[in-house]
Chain A
Amino acid sequence: MSHLLEVKNLDVKFDTDEGRITAVENISLSVDQGKVLGIVGESGSGKSVTAKSIMKLNPGNTYYNKDAEIILDNENVLQFTSKQDLKKIRGGKVSMIFQEPMASFAPAIKIGAQMVEQLLIHKDINKDEAKSISINMLKRVGIADAEKRFNQYAFELSGGMRQRAMIAMALSTMPKLLLADEPTTALDVTIQAQVINLIKDIIKEYQMGVIFITHDLGVIAQVADHVAVMYLGSVVEKGPVNEILKNPKHPYTKGLLQALPDINNLDAPLSPIPGNIPSPLDRPSGCVFRTRCPHHNPEGKDGKIEMKLIEVESGHWVDQCGIKCGQNG
């Protein structure tokens, strides 16, 4: 069966005053219908840029490599240029939700009016139908008094409610793929638990594919089926969620887990990953993680051999550390 989404060999670069920045390099990912791909990594690792590429939302100074492909429903999104085509990936087949729900809503337009307008753009329906779909969706995400909220502005809602309204708007067009970029990061844990459960229920109900971006490995453990770990624009490890969290192979994935305070293991010391993330302007050659990796060998091959994921267990892919540094996890 073919995947709902397949990203192949994608590079994303930005031309800036300081030079060309490599934000994402040679990543390949896939998402299946009804499944959640979690993308995890520290800030600046390229998670948002990856998601935006799928909707072609990166700004004008963006450069995509010619041989990259982003295949959604058998079409290469990167070739899309016409309004008609772009519409398909911006609110049609693909919707996005963000950390800050105000980013989704225009402040001076009522929530309902925005939902209706969006539906009219993407669906062949009339205003009344759009209104009833919107109100039903607001109800579905657990908003009480949906009819009243429909006529309110986003700023009039509380934080958790706004998050729900944004999800309702993203889902009302019935996208095949939902991109969720840190949708729970700004929320309290109790509200986060509500939103996670809501998203899980909805995925089950509508069988959409999801990319769920977060820097929180706990959230990943709760929502994802598969995980990709990103560092400085590269995917260094990917595979089924259980494999990645219980049997991590890459030194960066292990480092992230050792730095994480686990409430069920209070005696474990918190071990930071040494050093700092280099600027994307001085992206290390060869292995991107070598400036911070405990196994890095200055005389070794890790600066000379390029990164390449190899399959170590069924479906579990890791950068070829074995060839570069003799590390096999």
Chain B
Amino acid sequence: MDDNLISVNNVSVNFDYQENFISKKQKIHAVNNINIKIKKGSFFGLVGESGSGKTTLGRAILGANKISSGNIIFHDDEKDYDLTNMSKHDLKEYRKKAQLIFQDPYAALSPRMTVRDIIAEPLEVMKITNSRQETDKRVRDIAAKCRLNIEHLRRFPHAFSGGQRQRISIARALVSNPKFIVADESVAALDVSIQADILNLLKQLQNELNLTYLFISHDLSVVAHVCDVVAVMYLGHIVEMGPSRELFKNPKHSYTKALLSSIPSIDPEKRSEAIELKGEIPSALNPPPGCVFRTRCPNPGVDCKGGEIKMGLTEVEPGHWVDQCCVI
């Protein structure tokens, strides 16, 4: 139990939605009754199509999205933090321990800030350091760990390459000495060579700094390479979850199978083995009842059609969980 860093228990996140002021209020079911445990030192992958709720779940774990029901516990060495019930003081502490890697720090920050100031900002905002010297030292240390050139610290954002920008982003996330990092599509916009470099850096930093990652990505090949555990999300639900190699070798859920088969193979002789899914992911305003995947499932069972089956994970192999309706 205590080797878990994060427990997500029956968590749902809904957003209110109103098309215009006369229409009736509706709910967007972005995240539905999710249960996951993230082990200390894990590189936990979260995959799924656009709109499946990955970012919403990641933000909920960082305390940046309000949880509609359930709870999330962060198990620190000395104490547990319950994100649904945190004092101001605890929330401040938690912010130092759990950080997000921005996709692109310059999109969020002033172009007039130097790289040094961008990386230092969390220290200043959270009042972690007591003097300019201390701040500078922390910035220099983390920049060196992220293999950033110290010379670059005095420069301004423009004219940095995609890879360098991502390093700055990582340094900024790590400067407060966090234990948990959410990396949301952190390599999605990068060319393969730079992507490989950043992935290696994340791995190396994980070992050096004892980090635990929630790695959100729509790229299954990347996730298969770096993550030890993977959860597959579809329309707000986790439909399958397990040790990465087991899951990729032995997928059980129809959605996971279709997703895996859609990865374009690098072998020109292995063409079109994709299980083609019809249509697109339905709106989270009106998710289908029963199995959320059934509107696109290539081979639904007789029982799946009526929409009466209740979703929920069941363990089929040690640590390998699959939505129960896909198992029966």
Q: Verify if B280 is at the interface (C-beta below 8 Å from A).
A: yes
Instruction: Determine if A270 and B276 form an interchain contact, defined as CB atoms under 8 angstroms apart.
Output: no
Q: B272 near A: Cβ within 8 Å?
A: yes
Residue B250 is within 8 A (CB to CB) of chain A in the complex: no
**Out of B218, B264, B269, which one reaches A242, CB within 8 Å?**
B269
Q: Which segment, of A94-102, A154-162, A307-315, A318-326, faces chain B?
A: A154-162
Query: Is there an interface contact between A261 and B272, defined as CB atoms closer than 8 Å?
Result: no
State how many angstroms separate the Cβ of B155 from the closest Cβ of chain A: 15
Once A270-B225, A276-B163 are accepted as A-B contacts, the answer to whether A263 and B49 lie under 8 Å apart by CB is no
Q: State A221–B191 Cα separation when bound (angstroms).
A: 17
Contact between B277 and A261 (Cβ–Cβ < 8 Å)? Answer: no
B46 to chain A, nearest CB (A): 14
Chain B hits for A215, CB < 8 A: 191-192
Residue of A nearest to B275 (CB): A193
B271-284 vs A, Cβ < 8 Å mask (1 yes, 0 no): 11010110010000
User: Is there contact, CB below 8 Å, between A272 and B193?
Assistant: yes
Contact A241 B268 (CB under 8 A): yes
Known pairs A259-B193, A266-B245; A189 contacts B280 (CB<8 A): no
> Count the A-B residue pairs with Cβ separation under 8 angstroms: how many?
122
With A160-B280, A197-B276 already in contact, the answer to whether A189 and B193 are too (CB < 8 A) is no
- List A contacts of B274 (CB < 8 A): 193, 197
- In the complex the two chains form, is B224's CB within 8 Å of A261's CB? yes
Q: Are B269 and A259 in contact (CB under 8 A)?
A: no
CB-defined interface of B87-117 with A at 8 Å, one 1/0 digit per residue? 0000000000000000000000000000000
Residue in B193, B259, B262, B271 whose beta carbon sits within 8 Å of that of A42 in the complex: B193
Enumerate chain A residues within 8 angstroms of B222, measured Cβ to Cβ: 261
The answer to whether B268 touches A245 (Cβ under 8 A) is: yes
Considering the complex, which residues of chain A in the window 155-198 have a beta carbon less than 8 Å from any beta carbon of chain B? 158-161, 188-194, 196-197
A262 at the interface (CB under 8 A from B): yes
Interface stretch (choices B9-17, B22-30, B37-45, B195-203) = B195-203
Query: A190 to B248, alpha carbons, bound, how many Å?
Result: 16
Interfacial chain B residues near A217, Cβ < 8 Å = 192, 266
The complex places the Cα of A63 from the Cα of B268 at a distance, in Å, of 37
Residue A222 lies at the interface, judged by CB distance under 8 Å to chain B? yes
Q: Is the CB of B266 within 8 A of A260?
A: yes
Between A and B, 27 residue pairs with Cβ closer than 8 Å are: A42-B191, A42-B193, A158-B280, A159-B50, A159-B280, A161-B280, A189-B218, A191-B49, A192-B264, A193-B264, A193-B277, A194-B277, A197-B272, A197-B274, A221-B268, A222-B271, A241-B268, A260-B221, A261-B199, A261-B224, A262-B221, A263-B224, A266-B224, A266-B248, A272-B194, A272-B197, A273-B193
Residues on A lying within 8 angstroms of B by beta carbon are: 42-43, 158-161, 188-194, 196-197, 200, 215-219, 221-222, 224, 241-242, 245-246, 255-257, 259-264, 266, 270-273, 276-277
6 smallest CB-CB distances across A and B, nearest first, come from A218-B264, A270-B196, A272-B197, A193-B274, A259-B196, A42-B191
